[in-house]
Amino acid sequence: MKLRWTPLMAAALIASAGATLAAQKVQILGGGATFPYPIYSKWFNEYNKRHPNVEINYQSQGSGFGIQQITKRTVFFGASDGPMTGEQLLAAPGKILHFPTVLGAVVPVYNVPGVSQELKFSGPLLADIFLGNVTKWNDAAIAKLNPGVSLPANDIVVVHRSDGSGTTFIWVDYLAKVSPEWKKRVGVATSVNWPVGVGAKGNESVSAQVRQVPNAIGYVELIYALHSKINYGSVQNASGTFVKADVNSVTEAAAAAAANMPADFRVSITNAAGAGVYPISSFTWLLLYENHPDKAKAKVMVDFVKWALADGQKFATELGYAPLPKNVIDMEVKALAQIRTQ
Amino acid sequence: MTPIRGGPDEILFRAGTGVFAVLLIAVVLAIGGELVWQSRLSIREFGWQFWQTEIWDPVAGQFGARPFIWGTLYSSVLALIVSTPIAIGIAIFSSELSPAWMRRPLVFVTELLAAIPSIVYGLWGVFVLVPWIRRLEIATPESMKRLPLFTGPPLGIGMLAAAIILAIMVIPFTSSIAREVLRVVPRAQREAAYALGATRWEAIRMALFYARTGIIGAVMLGFGRALGETMAVTMLIGNTPQVSTSLYAPQYTMAAVIANEFTEASGELYLHALIEIGLVLFVITLAINVISRAFIWSLDSRRRPVRPVRPGRARPASPEAA
């Protein structure tokens, strides 16, 4: 069929040209942490519905990737599950600001044959298990916290992440806070030299391993524990209460930490004080340049973050994240004003 | 240089293809150079120690490649031990013995195995193979568990799972090439063998001997593939940097550690150490290829006559052949 030039087509062309002129299409590229990817992609999608001219693309390749790429300015914004270190900030060509977006929790998952009750752990106990100091499920240290549970005399199989990950960072950051031995022998990073255990790649593999291997213990993001219907224990917080991770106990950890929140939001909230606090909680951050040469994009990004902090928070719970407490949101909205948009 | 005959077309053609060939060599050299440059901090810091030390501690900034080198070579050699007889068996059957109606489907299915993505093998491994291996490990008698080959708790994942999955992944490569090599053994060779009264088995043995360099090449290609395989191995090997002879122990490979840690590697030295692992893998793969090539050349250069079927073992010609 031959294409014929009709007045209708001409009109359509003119109309579409007019539309492009009216609303410049803005494409923004970001990248980083995998953990917040589900909610970020939801947000970008929802925001695009409200602002059809804005398209935000996100490469979820890990927190380290996000930090590297924003330092090189190959992406407009980065995302990370652990705050950038002072050294990393100095390596960047301009000032980078941190903005917490949602919260997540890391939970101890286990598979102990014959134990149907929910197990209780304390921070030092988890550290001892992952250090290889506690090697049997019926060890006195476990039995003491779980009276009435008949624990088998089996060897504990530790499963940890093999890939560098923000999940690992949150987990070992907590262990280092509650165990001086962990801090000295292993330390805190996105991958560490594990004293014991086997490595599995990704949250999915860790939960698959723990589900399959009898007597295994591992750690995954709360959302994966919920999805894979695997047992996860409660953890004793700094006030001595045993708390199971859920949306409320995680948000409470953030609220507790908000009182002495530093102005740059680079804060670890593991082992936070407060009765209802789940101790292995963390923010996840967006990373933005304070003074990026592309002011048009900066303006759009500020608007997006404002929306994510306000309307966007309502998507958090259904996706398994904990929303930010109000006091943190208020602080962030003020901090957003630092970003130069013209 | 052979003298160039013909007009400018010929010269252009020759120059064009020559450029492509040189380009390939340049790319290999560039990769090597780039790997050295990108890992210079780690090379300067650790020197040859990098090949020997066993500690891999990103927090303390201590990096040694030995467990990864061991894991890579051990898993690949094990995979080769399992896959080679099976692959050659498949090649012989499909080229020499298979009834005609079965040949096509057999070749198709073997080649299909090569088309399955690595991650699918990995998933199958995690959900099917690993539970089987765990059952096997639990059933291993205590007396056997004292052998250095079978020590360790029954995890399921570990060296054995990785080696088996590698073997399955390597089989189609080795068997396809071995089959092609066997098919090009001249008909006259076979007919001569039969004419001398050789049995089927003896004729095939003759063909295998005739095709030995090609078959070794096929095995080495499989080995190369096993060395570099990443995803499926990462999912099954247990990712624990340790040097162990136990098939049940979780270990680590070079490709796996790069895949695992590269995206999250923060800090220059850490990144350089990971790239040096890539360099080590590059060097080892190159070395193995050179060695196997040299081996094949040495076989070729002392090209002995095909061993005659020993008269004592020769059977009288069968009645129908007579």
Interface size A-B, in CB pairs within 8 Å, comes to 95
Q: Do residues B84 and B174 touch, judged by C-beta distance below 8 A?
A: yes
The rounded mean pLDDT for chain B is 88
Of B8-12, B15-19, B269-273, the least confident: B8-12
pLDDT band at A228 (very low <50, low <70, confident <90, very high): confident
Query: What is the structure's pLDDT at B125?
Result: 93
Please identify among residues 117-176 of chain A the ones whose CB lies closer than 8 Å to any CB of chain B: 155, 157, 162-165
Phi (first) and psi of residue B190, to 5 degrees: -65, -45
> B231 to chain A: nearest residue by CA?
A201
pLDDT band at B257 (very low <50, low <70, confident <90, very high): very high
pLDDT band at A159 (very low <50, low <70, confident <90, very high): very high
**Model confidence at B5: pLDDT above 70:** no
pLDDT tens-digit series, residues A81-132 = 888 888 889 989 999 999 999 998 999 999 999 888 899 999 999 999 999 9
Q: Do residues A119 and A146 touch, judged by C-beta distance below 8 A?
A: yes
**Model confidence at A35: pLDDT above 90:** no
Q: What gap in Å lies between CA A285 and CA A322, rounded to an integer?
A: 14
Of B306, B283, B118, B294, the residue nearest B217 (C-alpha): B294
Q: CA Rg, chain B, in Å?
A: 24
C-alpha distances out from residue B32 to A205, B273, B281, Å: 33, 15, 11
β-bridge pairing B56-57 and B62-63: antiparallel
Edge-to-edge strands of the sheet including A281-289?
A: A54-60, A26-32, A77-80, A281-289, A96-111, A216-221, A157-161, A198-200
Which amino acid is it at A71?
T
**Model confidence at A146: pLDDT above 70:** yes
CA of A164 to nearest chain B CA: how many angstroms apart? 5
Burial B181-216 (b: 16+ CB within 10 A, else e): bbeebeeebbeebbeebbeeebbbbbbbebbebbbb
Q: Do residues B93 and B103 touch, judged by C-beta distance below 8 A?
A: no
φ/ψ bin of B185: left (φ > 0), alpha (ψ from -120 to 50), beta (otherwise): beta
β-bridge pairing A216-221 and A157-161: parallel
User: Which of B130, B257, B264, B266 is best to mutate for the A interface (most A CBs within 10 A)?
Assistant: B264
For residue B317, count other CB atoms closer than 10 A to its CB. 12
Please identify among residues 107-136 of chain B the ones whose CB lies closer than 8 Å to any CB of chain A: 126-127, 130-131, 134
The rounded mean pLDDT for chain A is 88
CA of A181 to nearest chain B CA: how many angstroms apart? 15
Handedness of CA B217, B223, B228, B229 (dihedral sign): positive
A288: helix, strand or coil: strand
> B122 to chain A: nearest residue by CA?
A205
Q: What is the mean pLDDT of residues B285-305?
A: 79
pLDDT band at B30 (very low <50, low <70, confident <90, very high): very high
Q: What is the mean pLDDT of residues A327-336?
A: 91
- Of A192, A193, A212, which has the smallest distance from its Cβ to B156's Cβ? A212
Please identify among residues 51-90 of chain B the ones whose CB lies closer than 8 Å to any CB of chain A: 55-60, 62
Which residues, 6 or more positions from A149, have their beta carbon under 8 angstroms from its beta carbon? Answer: A115, A117, A119, A143
Q: Do residues A76 and A244 touch, judged by C-beta distance below 8 A?
A: no
pLDDT tens-digit series, residues B120-135 = 999 999 889 999 999 9
Query: What is the structure's pLDDT at B308?
Result: 52
CB contact under 8 A, A62 and B263: yes
φ/ψ bin of A271: left (φ > 0), alpha (ψ from -120 to 50), beta (otherwise): left
CB contact under 8 A, B240 and A194: yes
Higher pLDDT, A24 or B41: B41
* Residue position matching structure tokens 């043995």: B205
pLDDT tens-digit series, residues A44-80 = 999 999 999 999 999 988 888 889 899 999 999 999 9
Which amino acid is it at A319?
L
Q: What is the mean pLDDT of residues A307-317?
A: 93
Q: What gap in Å lies between CA B234 and CA A296, rounded to an integer?
A: 43
Does the beta carbon of B157 lie under 8 angstroms from any beta carbon of chain A? yes
The pTM score is 0.81
Look up residue A230 and give its two tokens. Answer: 């695997």
Please identify among residues 169-208 of chain A the ones whose CB lies closer than 8 Å to any CB of chain B: 186-194, 197-201, 205, 208
CB-CB neighbors (< 8 A) of A164 in chain B:
58, 260-265
C-alpha distances out from residue B213 to B79, B86, B217, Å: 20, 18, 6
Handedness of CA A192, A198, A202, A206 (dihedral sign): negative
**Model confidence at A284: pLDDT above 80:** yes
Query: What is the structure's pLDDT at B316?
Result: 47
CA of A188 to nearest chain B CA: how many angstroms apart? 7
pLDDT band at B305 (very low <50, low <70, confident <90, very high): low
Q: What is the mean pLDDT of residues B148-158?
A: 87
CA of A12 to nearest chain B CA: how many angstroms apart? 45
